[in-house]
Chains A and B, each alone.
Chain A
Amino acid sequence: MSALIFIAIFGIIVLYLGFANNKAILAPAAIGGLLITMALSIKDWGVGSKYFHDMIVVDNFSIAFNVSMLIITILIFLFGVNYYKRMEHHVAEQYALMIFALTGAFLMTSYSNLIMLFLGIEILSIPLYILAGGKKSSYRSNEASFKYFLLGSFSTAFFLFGIALVYGASSTFYLPEINTYIAQFNGHLPPMLMVGLLFILIGVSFKVAVAPFHFWSPDVYEGAPTLVTAFMATVVKTAGFAAFYRLLGMGLLPLPAALEKTLWVMTGLSLLVGNLAALKQSNFKRLLAYSAIVHTGFMLLAMLSQHDSAGSVLLYYTFVYSLATIPLFIIFIHMKRSAKGLEDLVIFRGLYKQKPWVAVFMTILLMSLAGLPPTSGFMAKYQVFTLAISQGYIAITIFAIVMAIIGVYYYFYVLREAFTDSDEPNPILIPFLNAALIVVCGIAVVLLGLFTFTIPI
């Protein structure tokens, strides 16, 4: 709880640091604040307490996810040091908005009341709508911001309507109480409750871009500034899945049959739609957007298994996914800058020739995304599949494995470009800090694959 309060206030402090007119202090200050938040979070490990009329539950699950998101955000802020170097205005606001979004993410990992989930999603989303439009002069960025905002508010409307219907049926916002209310029906839920739950599911699915609620994500990923895209692909996804898991994996167990079927279909659709669309992409950011949809499908599979350790697997999955994604975006932004703003896959041409070590690390990262051993991406997928099979979801797991194999194609398509010689090579400049980030993340991706962790959640 102290972590939540601290980070909420810290965002405002960062906002005021903008008055200092010194961009250099922003990133260190922000990272320092996040480290303090992390310390405050870890302090509560194992205590497990509820605050403010049980609105907030601080347990190991929420702390583990919070710390994971904090680490990822610190990586993104380190990326921001160079990324924002050329930006003149509103740099403090960028950091502050990301910290505000993180506050919302914290609420999403630790709510036990649907109101808090709603607020968490909104506090996470509104800074993102703004951040996505951060490049004011770019039409793409404006389009991304506006599209995200419109569709986001539409999904919020569904979500709120769902909460209202659930409240109307059960007269409570508290997840445990809703669960006891559901339990009394033995699987035959009253229609009002059922529709309400489905609407809530739609609202959360939108945030994590599960097919068929994924339409916004490629456009927004493409249009938003790259750093924001990285933030969306990692922190937002992690927070969304934490919220999803708290709702379905912890709150409403055992899942009502209708919800389970819906999840089943959404899992299959995400895998299929994401993969098929990714095969045809030539824009790197769009490719990663569709690949993110596929990964969402795998994570949903873990959730579908309703196994006790699914939370831990989800944490592992989101964490290693984020670790692999951020350096890819870093490499991408430098390739983009050297290619004078192009975002196509061809910009990776000649990377191996100029910076062989970057190409090697890129291979590792893409292998992790594709789920090939010995990387941690393989271990993550492996854990998901074993969970799903152990709970008897054979058909969908086999489908997922096939999809994972298909996915290798487009990741290696990117690699093929990286190892091809370019006709007109442009100099690629990678600053020390970013190079260090790529190396550290690359090594971490491999190490985490060798030493997988499970957290008692």
Chain B
Amino acid sequence: MIFLFYLLSAIMIVCALLVVFSRNPINNVIYLILCFIAMAGHYILLNAQFLAVVHIIVYTGAIMVLFLFVIMLLNLNKAIIFRKSTVTRVSAVVTGGIFFLVLLAATRQTFEIHAKYPFNSDIGLVSGIGKALFGEFLLPFEISSILFISAMVGAMMFGKKDE
């Protein structure tokens, strides 16, 4: 299990880095897909089978396909390289570095916190998630339909040609 964890993490990190550094948009998308699949593997290690599969169906199977679709239609074979001024670059590096430090600080004490809340192996199974969604989180679950309907209305408005 530990070995799998490190393997999946290594794949994820390498793929995530490749997403950033690869110049070809199609390759970026493919590395991102690999990254997502490795993440699904992490879910399975946590016994969250439902989450793992839904993650694959939604992110890998639907969202990234659309991504790939758009990139193919736009025919972005070569990434457009934006030339940035030195000031922008330096400030971006400094900002990123500071952000990294902040996150490092944030996760410094995770081990203490981890000890306080024992792992619940049923949390990611379909029955557990179903009960949580239709019990405690019923209102957020239902109200998010408003979110989706407004997004759909938007898609219609932007997509439809005005005669």
- Within 8 Å of chain B (Cβ to Cβ): is A432? no
Contact at B139–A93, with CB atoms within 8 Å? no
The number of chain B residues touching the other chain, given as a range, is: 20 to 34
Chain A residue with Cβ nearest B153: A93
Contact at A107–B143, with CB atoms within 8 Å? yes
- Within 8 Å of chain A (Cβ to Cβ): is B97? no
State in angstroms the CA–CA spacing of A8 and B149 once bound together: 11
Q: Which 8 A-B pairs have the closest CB atoms?
A: A130-B154, A195-B106, A52-B139, A100-B150, A191-B105, A127-B150, A192-B106, A55-B139
Q: A15 is contacted by which of B103, B144, B153 (Cβ under 8 Å)?
A: B153
Chain B residue with Cβ nearest A134: B157
Contact at B153–A97, with CB atoms within 8 Å? yes
State in angstroms the CA–CA spacing of A168 and B103 once bound together: 13
Contact at A168–B110, with CB atoms within 8 Å? yes
A131 to chain B, nearest CB (A): 9
Chain B residue with Cβ nearest A130: B154
A93-B156, A136-B158 are known contacts. Are A192 and B113 too (CB-CB below 8 A)?
yes
State in angstroms the CA–CA spacing of A11 and B150 once bound together: 10
A138 to chain B, nearest CB (A): 13
Produce 1/0 per residue, B96-128, CB < 8 A to A. Answer: 000000110111111001001100000000000
Produce 1/0 per residue, B148-163, CB < 8 A to A. Answer: 0111011011101010
B92 to chain A, nearest CB (A): 14
A55-B140, A100-B146 are known contacts. Are A191 and B109 too (CB-CB below 8 A)?
yes
Q: Which of B103, B136, B139, B162 has the most CB of A within 10 A?
A: B139
**Which residues of A are at the interface with B, using a C-beta cutoff of 8 A?**
8, 11-12, 15, 51-53, 55-56, 88-90, 93, 96-97, 100-101, 103-104, 107, 113, 115-116, 119, 122-123, 126-127, 129-130, 133-134, 136, 165, 168-169, 171, 190-192, 194-196
Contact at A115–B137, with CB atoms within 8 Å? yes
Chain B residue with Cβ nearest A168: B113
Contact at A127–B113, with CB atoms within 8 Å? no
Contact residues in A for B110 (Cβ distance below 8 Å): 168, 192
Q: A51 is contacted by which of B135, B139, B150, B151 (Cβ under 8 Å)?
A: B139
- Within 8 Å of chain A (Cβ to Cβ): is B138? yes
Contact at B113–A133, with CB atoms within 8 Å? no
- Within 8 Å of chain A (Cβ to Cβ): is B147? yes
Contact residues in A for B153 (Cβ distance below 8 Å): 15, 93, 96-97, 100, 127, 130
Contact at A191–B106, with CB atoms within 8 Å? yes
A52-B139, A93-B156, A96-B153 are known contacts. Are A126 and B147 too (CB-CB below 8 A)?
yes
Contact at B150–A123, with CB atoms within 8 Å? yes
A270 to chain B, nearest CB (A): 21
Contact at B149–A100, with CB atoms within 8 Å? yes
Query: What 5 additional pairs, Cβ within 8 angstroms, besides A119-B140, A190-B113?
Result: A8-B143, A55-B137, A127-B153, A130-B158, A194-B106
State in angstroms the CA–CA spacing of A186 and B144 once bound together: 37
